[in-house]
Amino acid sequence: MCGRGRRVAVALLRLWLLLAAGAGAGAWASELSYVTCGSVVKLLNTRHNVRLHSHEVKYGSGSGQQSVTGVTTADDSNSYWRIRGKMDDSCQRGNPVKCGEVIRMTHINTGRNLHSHYFTSPLSGNQEVSAFGEDGNGDDLDNWTVVCSGTFWERENPVKFKHTATEVLLSVTGEQYGRPINGQREVHGMAYSNQYSSWKVMEGIFMKPMEMPRFETHSHSEL
């Protein structure tokens, strides 16, 4: 999708999310017990009570890519992520995501994918997590494995995300940034599992098969 097309799609999706929240369209979404491919969600770190967030602010060190943080605000549109299939693959829209499945998470407002690599995070000295790519296109360092018990990723239960290439876990340990993103928490990768790496689905739209805003069908069908 071109840059202009993506901006139009994002604007329409924002409107759709607002209408769903205000008009009861979330009723059918509440029927779904699982997170499904194509869903647009916010993810809450259960230890620090912050939502996974990104924005047009780049790291001043490390990779210099778009920063990923945790925010306490619940209604920030920069905390929406689309669940997609892994790099060079796709998942069937509306299918429940399996425990152990490899996915990508694409930031709705900027079109960049949740990403990690062997750079040091700026505050904690752990592994940097960034947002990378253009219009949802990135590389195999955008792949994350959903770590959970059972068969599928259940909406009510916390899960963990392991970076497929480097095997770190998506985590928040509490370090806070100063200006220009004052008070936002550092999101990074940690080599071991602990209380800081648990995430729970919060607000969002959960796709059933073939349920997608109209603009998606004539823009870019791959998830």
pLDDT in tens, 42-79: 999 999 999 999 999 999 999 999 999 999 999 999 99
Domain annotation covers residue 212: no
- Report the CATH number that the domain containing residue 136 is assigned in CATH: 2.80.10.50
What range does the domain containing 75 cover? 33-205
Domain annotation covers residue 74: yes
pLDDT tens sequence across 163-220: 999 999 999 999 999 998 999 999 999 999 999 999 999 999 999 876 544 434 333 4
Q: Give the span between the Cα atoms of 147 and 145, in whole angstroms.
A: 6
- Strand partners of residue 71: 51
H helix intervals, 24-179: 26-29
Number of domains in the chain: 1
Domain annotation covers residue 195: yes
Domain annotation covers residue 173: yes
Name, in order, each residue with C-beta under 8 angstroms of 166's C-beta and a sequence gap of 6 or more. 116, 117, 118, 127, 141, 189
Q: Give the span between the Cα atoms of 215 and 9, in whole angstroms.
A: 6
Q: pLDDT band for 87, please (50, 70, 90 cuts).
A: confident
CA 205 vs. chain centroid, Å, equals 13
Q: Is the pLDDT of residue 221 over 50?
A: no
Q: Is the pLDDT of residue 21 over 90?
A: no
Name, in order, each residue with C-beta under 8 angstroms of 34's C-beta and a sequence gap of 6 or more. 96, 97, 152, 153, 154, 155
What pLDDT, on a 0 to 100 scale, did the predictor assign at position 89?
Answer: 83
Domain annotation covers residue 176: yes
